[in-house]
Amino acid sequence: MKVYKTNELRNIALIGGAKSGKTTLSEAILFEGGVITRRGTIEDKNTVSDYRQIELERQNSVASTVMYAEHNGHKINLIDAPGFDDFIGEVVAALNVADTAFMVINGQNGVEVGTEINFRQTKANNTPLVFLVNHLENEKSSFEESLRQLKSQFGASVTALQYPYNEGQNFNAIIDILQQKMLKYPAGGGKAEVLDIPADQKDKAEEMLNSLIESAAENDETIMESFFENGTLTPEELKKGLKLGIMNRGMFPVLCVAAKPNYGVDALLDFVVNYIPAPDEMPGRTTKEGKTLTCKASDPASALCFKTSVEEHLGEISFFKIYAGEITEAMDMVNGLNSSKERISQMFAVAGKKREKLEKGVAGDIIATIKLKNVRTNHTLNAPKVSGDIITPIKFPAPKITMAIKAKSTSDDEKLGTALTELQKVDPTISIEYSKELKQIIIRGQGELHLNIAKWHLENMEKIAIEYYLPRIPYRETITKSAKAMYRHKKQSGGSGQFGEVHMLIQPYTDDMVPQKEFPIRGTEEHELPWGGKLVFNNCIVGGSIDARFQPAILKGIMEKIEEGPLTGSYARDIVVNIYDGKMHPVDSNELAFKLAGRQAFKEAFKNAGPKILEPIYDVEVMVPGDRMGDIMTDLQGRRAIIMGMDSEGNYQIVKAKVPLAEMNRYSTALSSITSGSGSYSLKFAEYAQVPGDVQTALLKAYEEQEKEDE
């Protein structure tokens, strides 16, 4: 493949709701861009973008696909992102490396839930945005209604640059405002015949052009002055103003396409080449060291891995955007994160399963490579002279749903662990951990569909039968008053026996607590517990009733029971233990005896010290359309939520609440049901708080029954 210069590159992301036609559009782009000679269809399961087995079965995208097209001496890198919110991580990654996003709108439906969700992502990432109204050949399509909804939802910056001439089943022509021409397409699509605008459309087209000129002039002071002096703009000034407007999100152009019959795609590619900024025209990408990379080929090479995938018969593929310098085959580079040395053995321009070999990649380009030793998504590869630089990583969305996972057969446990590690490599929005506290493997994702796709992968690709089940809640146990207890551990079974007796007083720990004065404190150890809170261990022994050498054993026994609390087996916290008396045996006392005595004495004292269970409370923000607020508030209150406040963003309302984690089970599904998929939420740990009495009673009963089953 030809080596393109930075100013000959364009990087775009195709985003939008499910069924908006992104995959079909990308097929038409690749056809017009000379990458394929025949357009596939979703129905025939032969598209370039949806080539994975799960996508062929579901007939929709579950992962982004990196592709390219060549047009008028330019290379257009294209990333087709999935439309479902469960795969929003793929959208986030695409927007981080694309220089412009193209939002595909289904002309039959107008602005949908997916449109709003993806728009928020472009706003958060400050990505330039163009709208493409698709499906204009459909009888039920309405460009005017779609445009009205876009303006209503996203503001006056939405500006039509084209409109359909004969929308519906007979659609085959587009009025192009910039050219002041009509583009008429032959059956089967392809290159348009450029005609004069019909007489009945001239006034409308001229009015739209004048409005466009005014909008373009607002993006630059020099252009604005020229507009005031001349009353119009030259084609060069209009192009510059439009390009600046796109770059600074001052304009959101609207174009027309009908991807299935391949109408408007040639004009779309012309627009990309002429009006979409090249990588070196965009603001630079920063590094953690504060350096800004502005896509200069003359700088030392630096590239960010934004996607990792595993392909059958090929293995792991790493996708990079080059932010500085040039990368060539056999080039040695250094991972900025872990300092590992990597050799670029091969480079490709990729279009789904099709790979075109590259000899060199320049700043601004998107490339793929294989056989890297220790590179993951969000890692930076640098030329050795700048080996320590780390490009600011992509910030992926936090998980929204948590489940426990296990293999149906224990013989697959080790295999499952390996498979989950590999799954996390290719999908950074999936989180996997083994919880020592919960004694479960925990998997977190963006929603039920997201985790169901992970389950499909494990069962169909890795051949591991698995099941999801509700994770335990990480409760905490503590006490509310002082209590004493003693325990004598005595065991005689021939030969040396075991003997240890421990007397203790326990108290609740607080930052402003008053130490007990009943017994003299001879020594204190404070332990910050890994799960939060403290254990204060006081040695109050007078007269040598227990040797100092047995104190560590007593503490060890207490720590064991704190890790498996007496009430529900959860971690205990914020307790002061005073060891004030005990007994030893000159022969039979040993560390094991005092460890067991300390453990049992602590257990008995704990149960008499007003024990309480604490539950994790999360800060939850729910974003919903205003007309669904009542239903959302009712649902949250049914989940023991405390409403902390409300805010608004556009047509959406934001509810802020504190909600117990135990009540957030399957909330993503409930929210989707209540809002017809238009709601979204985030949650973040806030604090631990005491559970209500009825909840504590139920938890204690459930734990007792579980212990009986385990016996």
Find the CATH number of the domain harbouring 690.
3.30.70.240
CA 598 to CA 502: how far, in whole Å?
A: 6
pLDDT of residue 501 exceeding 90, the answer is yes
Q: Are 708 and 441 in contact (CB under 8 A)?
A: no
Same domain, 31 and 178: yes
Residues above pLDDT 90, as percent of the chain = 82
Q: What number is the average pLDDT over the span 389-412?
A: 94
Tokens 């005017």 identify what position?
A: 144
Within-domain flag for 245: no
Structure tokens at 532: 């939060």
Within-domain flag for 240: no
Same domain, 271 and 337: no
Of 623, 282, 666, whose CA–CA distance to 448 is shortest?
666
CA 30 to CA 23: how far, in whole Å?
A: 11
Of 426, 495, 709, 485, whose CA–CA distance to 605 is shortest?
485
Q: Where is the domain boundary, 575, 610, 645?
A: 610
Residue 441's pLDDT is what?
A: 96
DSSP bridge partners of 332 = 343
Same domain, 362 and 405: no
Residue 429's pLDDT is what?
A: 95
CA 480 to CA 648: how far, in whole Å?
A: 41
Backbone angles phi, psi at 79, to 5 degrees: -120, 115
pLDDT of residue 563 exceeding 70, the answer is yes
Same domain, 318 and 447: no
Same domain, 631 and 568: no
Answer positive or negative: Cα dihedral of 124, 125, 128, 129: negative
Same domain, 295 and 209: no
Within-domain flag for 453: yes
Which residues touch 477 (CB under 8 Å, ≥6 apart)?
565, 566, 567, 568, 570, 571, 572, 573, 606, 611, 612, 613, 614
Q: Are 344 and 278 in contact (CB under 8 A)?
A: no
b/e burial code for range 570-601 (CB count within 10 A of at least 16 → b): bbbbbbbbbbbbbebeeebbbeebbbbbbbbb
Q: Are 70 and 35 in contact (CB under 8 A)?
A: yes
Of 329, 357, 319, 375, whose CA–CA distance to 90 is shortest?
319
Q: How many CA within 13 A on the CB side of residue 560?
A: 15
pLDDT of residue 311 exceeding 90, the answer is no
Q: Are 438 and 474 in contact (CB under 8 A)?
A: yes
Q: Where is the domain boundary, 448, 469, 490?
A: 469
pLDDT of residue 678 exceeding 90, the answer is no
Number of domains in the chain: 5
Same domain, 14 and 51: yes
CA 563 to CA 372: how far, in whole Å?
A: 41
Distances from the Cα of 153 to the Cαs of 150, 175, 221, 618, in angstroms?
5, 24, 28, 31
Q: Are 371 and 14 in contact (CB under 8 A)?
A: no
Which amino acid makes up residue 619?
A: D
Residue 710's pLDDT is what?
A: 66
At 52-72, the pLDDT tens digits run 889 989 988 999 999 999 999
Please report which confidence band the pLDDT of residue 352 belongs to, taking 50, 70 and 90 as the band edges.
confident
Beta strand segments in 312-373, E: 315-324, 326-328, 331-335, 341-344, 347-351, 354-357, 360-362, 366-370
Same domain, 432 and 317: no
pLDDT of residue 250 exceeding 90, the answer is yes
Same domain, 583 and 649: no
pLDDT of residue 146 exceeding 90, the answer is yes
Long-range contacts: 340-345, Cβ < 8 Å, 24+? 340/373, 340/374, 340/375, 342/372, 342/373, 342/374, 342/375, 342/381, 344/369, 345/369, 345/370, 345/371
Find the CATH number of the domain harbouring 499.
3.30.230.10
Of 564, 533, 570, 575, whose CA–CA distance to 662 is shortest?
570
Within-domain flag for 449: yes
Distances from the Cα of 663 to the Cαs of 438, 442, 620, 667, 691, in angstroms?
17, 18, 12, 8, 12
Within-domain flag for 460: yes
Give me the chain's average pLDDT, please. Answer: 93
Same domain, 511 and 426: no
Same domain, 369 and 505: no
Question: How big is the chain, counted in residues?
Answer: 711
b/e burial code for range 334-355 (CB count within 10 A of at least 16 → b): bbbbeeeebebeebbbbbbeeb
Q: Which of 27-36, 452-461, 621-630, 684-693 shows the lowest mean pLDDT across its residues?
A: 621-630
Within-domain flag for 703: no
Which residues touch 573 (CB under 8 Å, ≥6 apart)?
476, 477, 478, 529, 531, 532, 533, 534, 535, 562, 614
Find the CATH number of the domain harbouring 120.
3.40.50.300
Q: Where is the domain boundary, 469, 492, 513?
A: 469
Structural domain boundaries enclosing 658: 614-695
CA 551 to CA 571: how far, in whole Å?
A: 22
Residue 587's pLDDT is what?
A: 86
Q: Are 391 and 274 in contact (CB under 8 A)?
A: no
Residue 676's pLDDT is what?
A: 84
Which residues touch 456 (CB under 8 Å, ≥6 apart)?
54
Answer positive or negative: Cα dihedral of 77, 82, 83, 86: negative
Please measure the distance between the N-terminal and C-terminal CA atoms of the chain and give it in whole angstroms. 69
Please report which confidence band the pLDDT of residue 495 belongs to, taking 50, 70 and 90 as the band edges.
low
Within-domain flag for 120: yes
Tokens 């117990």 identify what position?
A: 660
Same domain, 365 and 462: no
Q: Are 26 and 48 in contact (CB under 8 A)?
A: yes
Find the CATH number of the domain harbouring 323.
2.40.30.10
Within-domain flag for 235: no
